[in-house]
Amino acid sequence: MEQLEQQLQRYAELIVKVGVNVQQGQEVFISSQIETAPLTRLVAAEAYRAGAGNVYVDWNDDTVSRLKYDHAAPEVFSNFPEWETLKRNSFVERGACFISFVSSGPDVLKGVDPQRIGAYQKAAGAGLVNFRRAVQSDKVAWTVAAAASADWANKVFPGDEPELAVNKLWLAIFDAVRLHEEDPVEAWRAHDQSLHGKVDWLNGLRLRKLRYRAAGTDLTVELPDRHLWVGASSVTPDGVRFMANMPTEEVFTAPRRDGVDGYVSSTKPLSFAGNIIDRFKLTFALGRIVKAEAEEGEEILRQLVETDEGTHYLGEMALVPHRSPISESNILFYNTLFDENASNHFAIGSGYAFNVEGGKTMSPEELAASGINQSVAHVDFMVGSAEMDIDGYQEDGTIVPIFRGGNWA
Ligand code: ZN
Ligand code: ZN
């Protein structure tokens, strides 16, 4: 597969240049599974070529993680190690950029005691709170990108031989990040501009609320007074432009914490903490989730909602046309980075500081006062479909069609 190697090299370049935009002398923090080491090594080499001062890789292994969930002492899950917190925080303080590869099997923790998963999510969320704040306010450059693993590929292409499935998944990843374009870096620049066009239109409307309607969904979502829609690239305080997700097709803002009413149904399975949650429905009153039902994974969904007070509320609302390149691939990825970019979605948990004017320099208390939800978690889930209509309501009551039949009106 000489071609695969060439494509991986192009992908590594794209992640370093467009994803985190590595700067001279900068440190680079990479989270990767050992299984996808070949890509991670190429990214490390490319980062040094771009001038990185030091590349650090935080290696993980799903098999060892699973062994821990099955056999470790119960207290391990509620005690997030202090050194992990200090490690992340010190990279943030030194101005590192962060690359996270998602590659795990979507149900790698299936059958694990949900209490253990809930305890770990809570402890890790609290332990990494500073890191997440830095990320959610664009203080550091960061990107989440994908790498194909055997477990993940098997879930997406269950009928194929392992090697073929992995190759097919790589091709789907490459397509989604526009590697088929002659000049992918330039293609991303154009894509960035087109998403910013949508952002400008939505910000110009100054909407008070949106109403979502589809089968199983009738939800009204109010927006904070000084909300901002954003999408595609972001900029650090030092003026470095980066792409937080690759792929990305969304424009998003934050709902007003107490302004969500009605019910919404999922339209794609959600892989969360190594488990699948599917065919679920959330009911809201004054922003709060008052009912969470799922045909599959209800116990895990409940653990998620019970993580902290903030996981009873929404932190993100994102618009993605049903006719997007990823949804047209007709592949169900069982991976939020992909599925959220093929579907309108919301996130349970914390909102992004940059979704409100002046938010990047606000304290958590000021953000909360501006209507932005605070939590140790942030979990996107998909609700879009070809039937979804969304209306926007302006200050004077004018109704603006935003989505019709799943696509931009
Ligand atoms: Zn999103
Ligand atoms: Zn999100």
For ligand 2, the distance from its centroid to the CA atom of residue 360, given in whole angstroms, is 17
Domain boundary among 176, 193, 221: 176
Tokens 């374009």, residue located: 181
pLDDT computed for residue 293 by the predictor: 98
Cβ-Cβ contacts under 8 Å for 249 (sequence gap 6 or more):
195, 320, 321, 324, 325, 326, 341, 342
> What average pLDDT does the segment 117-135 reach?
95
Q: Model confidence at 1, in pLDDT bands (50, 70, 90)?
A: low
- The amino acid at residue 324 is S
Domain boundary among 176, 208, 226: 176
Tokens 């349970």, residue located: 348
Contact in structure between 10 and 79 (CB atoms under 8 Å): no
Considering the domain architecture, whether residues 144 and 224 belong to the same structural domain is answered as no
CA of 231, nearest ligand number: 1
Which residues are near ligand 2, the ion (C-beta closer than 5 Å)? 316, 347, 380
Contact in structure between 341 and 319 (CB atoms under 8 Å): no
CA of 377, nearest ligand number: 2
The Cα–Cα gap between 133 and 124 comes to 14
User: Could you tell me which residues are beta bridge partners of residue 276?
Assistant: 271
The Cα–Cα gap between 144 and 245 comes to 5
Cβ-Cβ contacts under 8 Å for 260 (sequence gap 6 or more):
219, 220, 221, 222, 284, 286, 287, 313, 314
The per-residue pLDDT for range 13-46, each reduced to its tens digit, is 999 999 999 999 999 999 999 999 999 999 999 9
For ligand 1, the distance from its centroid to the CA atom of residue 84, given in whole angstroms, is 26
Considering the domain architecture, whether residues 261 and 348 belong to the same structural domain is answered as yes
Considering the domain architecture, whether residues 404 and 291 belong to the same structural domain is answered as yes
For ligand 1, the distance from its centroid to the CA atom of residue 104, given in whole angstroms, is 19
**CATH code for position 73:** 3.40.1830.10
Rounded to the nearest 10°, the torsion over CA 151, 80, 350, 17 is -60
Considering the domain architecture, whether residues 215 and 112 belong to the same structural domain is answered as no
Cα 188–Cα 390–Cα 247 angle in degrees, nearest 5: 20
pLDDT computed for residue 324 by the predictor: 84
- As for how many domains the chain has, the answer is 2
The Cα–Cα gap between 19 and 247 comes to 10
For ligand 1, the distance from its centroid to the CA atom of residue 378, given in whole angstroms, is 10
> What global pTM score does this model have?
0.94
Considering the domain architecture, whether residues 231 and 374 belong to the same structural domain is answered as yes
pLDDT computed for residue 129 by the predictor: 94
Considering the domain architecture, whether residues 201 and 257 belong to the same structural domain is answered as yes
The Cα–Cα gap between 167 and 148 comes to 8
pLDDT computed for residue 327 by the predictor: 87
For ligand 2, the distance from its centroid to the CA atom of residue 232, given in whole angstroms, is 13
Q: Between β-strands 270-272 and 251-253, what pairing exists: parallel, antiparallel or unpaired? A: unpaired
CA of 343, nearest ligand number: 1
Cα 91 to Cα 34, 85, 86, 97, 130: the distances in Å are 21, 10, 9, 8, 11
> What average pLDDT does the segment 370-399 reach?
96
Considering the domain architecture, whether residues 142 and 241 belong to the same structural domain is answered as no
pLDDT computed for residue 271 by the predictor: 94
> What average pLDDT does the segment 178-201 reach?
95
Q: Model confidence at 323, in pLDDT bands (50, 70, 90)?
A: confident
The per-residue pLDDT for range 55-106, each reduced to its tens digit, is 999 999 999 999 999 999 999 999 999 999 999 999 999 999 999 999 999 9
- The amino acid at residue 203 is N
For ligand 1, the distance from its centroid to the CA atom of residue 61, given in whole angstroms, is 26
Considering the domain architecture, whether residues 243 and 160 belong to the same structural domain is answered as no
Domain of residue 12, residue span: 2-176
Considering the domain architecture, whether residues 276 and 324 belong to the same structural domain is answered as yes
Residue 248 phi, psi dihedral angles, 5° rounding: -145, 135
Domain boundary among 143, 176, 209: 176
Percent of the chain with pLDDT over 90: 97
Considering the domain architecture, whether residues 224 and 103 belong to the same structural domain is answered as no
Q: Residue 2: pLDDT above 80?
A: no
DSSP annotation of 296: E
Considering the domain architecture, whether residues 258 and 367 belong to the same structural domain is answered as yes
Considering the domain architecture, whether residues 99 and 239 belong to the same structural domain is answered as no
